Amino acid sequence: MGIPVFPPRFDSDLLKPFYDGLAQGELRLSACSECGKFHWYPPEVLPCHPEAELVWKPVSTEGVVYTFTTIERSLLPGDHRDEVPFTVVLVASKDTPHLRVPGLFISDDGSEPQCDMSVRLRPVQIGDYWLPAFEPIAA
């Protein structure tokens, strides 16, 4: 399995706290400053309290795989042939089972992801930035 080396898109600072959290080994998700409800993907306007602010809070780095897919061919510009295949999972943290956070799937023993598999965050550093990645928790 490969690791995609393209940098995260920083079209705005919206996701900066998420990536800053990864560098600290934390899974930080956006929440409403008024009611505390977590939201993912972070909305520009909160549907629960439109006047409230978006705040970022760490949640459990352990969760379960909701679904996954393996990318066999990169559609990114440039030559990324050495980076495929890689597998992307959507993970529901223990603290936010209603949200699905994307990340790479990595395993040291070559195991394949499965739905409902227990995983933990293991961010991967690529140059100056960190990507969300999850590894299986041994049963």
Task: Give the contacts of 116 (CB within 8 A, at least 6 positions apart).
Answer: 64, 65
Amino acid at 130: W
Cα–Cα dist 57/24, whole Å: 13
Nearest distance from residue 133's CB to Zn ion, in Å? 30
Q: Are 132 and 104 in contact (CB under 8 A)?
A: yes
**Can you tell me the distance from the alpha carbon of 42 to that of 29, in angstroms, rounded to the nearest whole number?**
8
CB nearer to Zn ion: give 23 or 48. 48
Binding to Zn ion in span 8-37, by CB under 5 A = 32, 34-35, 37
Q: C-beta of 36: minimal distance to Zn ion in Å?
A: 7
Q: Nearest distance from residue 69's CB to Zn ion, in Å?
A: 32
Of 3-11, 41-49, 74-82, 97-105, the segment contacting Zn ion by CB under 5 A is 41-49
Among 23, 48, 76, 137, binds Zn ion (CB under 5 A): 48
